[in-house]
Amino acid sequence: MPAPMIAPSILSADFARLADEARAVEGAEWLHVDVMDAHFVPNLTLGLPIVQSLLKATDIPLDCHLMIDNPGRWAPPYAEAGAYNVTFHAEATDDPVAVARDIRAAGAKAGLSIKPNTPIEPYLEILQNFDTLLVMSVEPGFGGQSFIASVLDKARTVRRLVDSGELRLIVEIDGGINEDTVEAAAEAGVDCFVAGSAVYGASDPAAAVRALRQKAAAASPHLTLA
Ligand code: DX5
Ligand code: ZN
């Protein structure tokens, strides 16, 4: 059985010290990078130049979460730059399969994200074109919000399809994950857990990553510690 993946979100890190902040979570499977454009979400964070610098500063694979309009235009450059996984929002495009194809052609894994109120059913038949599904468990835009447990049904639905062999996909969850909520997400079948404030708000971020991984493994029916 695989181990739980933990993806610390640098949205809660010190943006003036990103290289140090990446080092502070060494051992994390992915580093989650929230790109926001102040259009798709009411917040503005960082873009391609900072991702390019971060790629030189860390060996942790970058998990870029694009909360932006027009991902067809803006997502492939993150893959070309060397991001490991590039996730965009289903709500931001009419042709998610084409965007996934372009991301993969540019050398990255492709991820589809859905907001808390977006149902998964309309997207089930296109998930075979993706490597990851990012289930948002808060409204995208800000760190430090409370976990919305009702989204876990979407993780359960996709977990069943993965377990039955119909899909090959990493199920990822993002928003409000901490030591109190990670177990419910793990029970629902999540593989990869994004955590911002729970990691970077801790006095020892690397220890917080280990604690989340441990709790996820203990609660998950399909994950275990290596
Ligand atoms: C929110 C971002 C999240 C955020 C999570 O729009 O997508 O990745 O950093 O932060 P926490 O873990 O604090 O909810
Ligand atoms: Zn995110």
pLDDT, tens digit (0-9, with 9 covering 90-100), for 195-215: 999 999 999 999 999 999 999
pLDDT at 109: 99
Mean pLDDT, range 11-33, rounded to an integer: 98
| In the block, residue with structure tokens 């932006």 | 68
pLDDT tier at 159, thresholds 50, 70, 90: very high
pLDDT at 102 > cutoff 80: yes
Q: pLDDT tens across 165-181, in order?
A: 999 999 999 999 999 99
Measured in angstroms, how far is the CA atom of residue 196 from the centroid of ligand 1? Answer: 5
Active site residue 34: yes
Q: pLDDT tens across 36-83, in order?
A: 999 999 999 999 999 999 999 999 999 999 999 999 999 999 999 999
| 132: CB partners within 8 A, 6+ apart | 85, 87, 109, 110, 111, 112, 169, 170, 171, 172, 192
Mean pLDDT, range 131-142, rounded to an integer: 98
Closest listed ligand to the CA of 197: 1
For residues 156 and 126, give the distance between their C-alpha atoms in angstroms, rounded to a whole number: 17
**52-73 burial string, b = 16+ CB within 10 Å, else e?**
eebbeebebbbbbbbbbbebbe
pLDDT tier at 127, thresholds 50, 70, 90: very high
Q: What is the pTM of this model?
A: 0.99
Ligand 1 within 6 A of CB of 174? yes
All structural domains of the chain? 5-219 (3.20.20.70)
Q: Please give the mean pLDDT across all residues of the chain.
A: 98
For residues 224 and 218, give the distance between their C-alpha atoms in angstroms, rounded to a whole number: 7
pLDDT at 155: 98
For residues 199 and 10, give the distance between their C-alpha atoms in angstroms, rounded to a whole number: 9
Structure tokens at 188: 């629902």
**Measured between alpha carbons, how far is residue 115 from residues 51, 77, 136, 138, 178 in Å?**
23, 23, 5, 8, 19
pLDDT at 226: 76
Measured in angstroms, how far is the CA atom of residue 45 from the centroid of ligand 2? Answer: 11
Q: Which of 34, 69, 102, 191 is catalytic?
A: 34
Residues 67 and 90: beta-carbon distance below 8 Å = no
Ligand 1 within 6 A of CB of 176? yes
pLDDT tier at 220, thresholds 50, 70, 90: very high
pLDDT at 2: 94
